[in-house]
Amino acid sequence: MKARVTVMLKSGVLDVQGEAVRHALGTLGFAGVNGVRQGKLIELDLAETDKAAAELAVKTMCDKLLANTVIESYRVELI
């Protein structure tokens, strides 16, 4: 089973990298971009075959390592 985890900064947390990308896009002539939020995508190949157990395991991984839950939120998708 595969899992896809999307990690993003929580709203209200300054996204310095996203702002740098927005500025660079403006410099390149893409004037219509008003905001950019940048995150990370993590794909996991799991041995687990039970969907509920896999989702619980991935959420535990996120809470312990993959996301800084103080400033980031995450979404788990089993694929």
pLDDT tens digits for the chain (79 residues)? Answer: 999 999 999 999 999 999 999 999 999 999 999 999 999 999 999 999 999 999 999 999 999 999 999 999 999 999 9
Q: State pTM to two decimals.
A: 0.89
Give the three-state DSSP class for 76. strand
**What pairs with residue 7 in β-bridges?**
40, 74
How many domains are contained in the chain? 1
Q: How large is the greatest C-alpha to C-alpha distance in the chain, in angstroms?
A: 49
Domain of residue 60: give its range: 2-78
Residue 13's domain is classified under what CATH number? 3.30.1280.10
Residue with tokens 């980031």: 72
Q: Which residues, at least 6 apart from 69, have a Cβ–Cβ distance to it below 8 Å?
A: 62, 63
